[in-house]
Amino acid sequence: MKADLHIHSLYSNDGELGIPEILKKCHESGVDTISITDHNCVRGTREAARLTAEDHGIDFIPGIEIDCNYMGTDLHLLGYQVDLRGGDFDALEKSVRKKYMDAVPQMISNLERLGIGIDPDELMNRSGGEPPTGELFAELLLEHPDQHSNPRLKPYLPGGKRSDMPLINFYLDFFAQGKPAYVKIDHLDFKDAVALVRNNGGIPIVAHPGLNLEGREEVVNDLMDLGSAGIEVFNNYHSNKQVAYFAGATSKRGALMTCGSDFHGKNKPLISIGQYSFLESYREYLERSLTTILELVQDKPNL
């Protein structure tokens, strides 16, 4: 496929590249339909909308990825075709930023209890005053030779079993929900996140549900009952079995089916723009879904 509807820029606190660099990579890889879906933020989307308006080689879909929670499980909701002219998403970004910043002392404390110490001042200096991500924790820790003897960090050092993508793997192993350094954030309820997207003219899509709902994949049916217009079926986290399940659940309802790499840059070095697992048998359905989303975007100005 030549579409990637899940790309993060440096406007995400865990993203690396600016919008011009991302557009260059899209051209180089032949990707011609994209969405910038930064975490709880549309500043990158606004910039991309301006740049792609002058670039006839890219079909651009305004987007965002919203942290939310459904019955105790942290989820991500993609919003496509969102109206960028209001202030709702700016207010969301401000609110989420404060919540994450408030959680940092507990994140540091949780790691210390596990025998992993980190300098808070150095951490905040490296983050530029923004909430530091779990990946930044890892980057700082792995840079310090005095930390390399710590047995908890050895899997992320070169040659270790988690060294293929050490930064995101450290986050997943320590700070993801249910992991030993996890700090609960009071995210939007899933229904409220759906309402936020729809109230701003957008199309809500559940992001990579196989990552968040592993072993409970059937929950996506409840999420569609609650207003999600479809599922991100094709991405880099789903097994073939999950892809087949989500594709079947989506097509059975006539819901939208989307695709995306979840590109971040250095934090996920094995993930490239435009590359994700895909089943050829669903190409036609996916193309129809993308056409539907594109037509809706083209019918409504966002700037």
Distance CA(171)–CA(51), nearest Å, equals 32
DSSP assignment string, 7-48:
E--TTSTT----HHHHHHHHHHHT--EEEE--BT--HHHHHH
Distance CA(144)–CA(133), nearest Å, equals 18
Residues contacting residue 219 through CB under 8 Å, at least 6 positions apart = 70, 73, 209, 213
Residues contacting residue 144 through CB under 8 Å, at least 6 positions apart = none
Of 88, 97, 102, 118, the C-alpha closest to 39 is 97
Distance, first Cα to last Cα, the chain: 28
pLDDT at 129: 85
Both tokens of 23, joined, read 């557009």
**Helix 134-143 / helix 120-127 crossing angle, nearest 10 deg:** 120
Sheet of strand 73-80: strand arrangement: 188-189, 63-70, 73-80, 203-206, 230-234, 256-259
**Helix 43-52 / helix 19-29 crossing angle, nearest 10 deg:** 50
Tens digit of each residue's pLDDT, the chain (303 residues) = 799 999 999 999 999 999 999 999 999 999 999 999 999 999 999 999 999 877 778 999 999 999 999 999 999 999 999 999 989 999 999 999 999 999 999 999 999 999 999 999 999 999 988 899 999 999 999 999 988 899 999 999 999 999 999 999 999 999 999 999 999 999 999 999 999 999 999 999 999 999 999 999 999 999 999 999 999 999 999 999 999 999 999 999 999 999 999 999 999 999 999 999 889 999 999 999 999 999 875 455 444
